[in-house]
Amino acid sequence: MGTVTPLPFPNRTAPQQTGFERTELLRILDLYGRMVAAGHWRDYAMDFHRDAAIFSAFRRAAERPEYRIEKRPALRSRQGMWALVSEAGAVLKRGDELSNVLAPVERKLMKLVGD
């Protein structure tokens, strides 16, 4: 009665899905809110898969996302786990730090507000 038998959980160390940490999501949503206030973005979507977490920002809801911000932890030691992907699917920026990857969108926001 005093013996505890552990349950056999297959693949216990592998995560079921990849997600954003709170600070990462706050940074992304802050940028999203500023782009909405500037009138450029109108909608967003988040996808969580086993190997990637993706934040997509849309100009209009019925089209492809203008930008995708992807977090792929498996690429941390190679190319960097963050990627900024354009509407056409080209990787615009890749790196280890989220702020560096979001820099091209931040510059675009400055141009939108400055006009």
In a domain, residue 85? The reply is yes
The pLDDT of residue 27: 95
In a domain, residue 38? The reply is yes
In a domain, residue 8? The reply is no
Q: How far apart are CA 115 and CA 54, in angstroms?
A: 30
In a domain, residue 92? The reply is yes
- Which residue range forms the structural domain that includes residue 30? 22-114
Report how many domains make up the chain: 1
What is the full per-residue pLDDT of the chain (115 aa) written as tens digits?
A: 678 777 676 655 656 788 999 999 999 999 999 999 988 899 999 999 999 999 999 988 778 899 999 999 888 888 889 999 999 989 999 999 999 999 999 888 877 666 6
Q: How far apart are CA 69 and CA 97, in angstroms?
A: 12
In a domain, residue 6? The reply is no
In a domain, residue 59? The reply is yes
In a domain, residue 4? The reply is no
In a domain, residue 62? The reply is yes
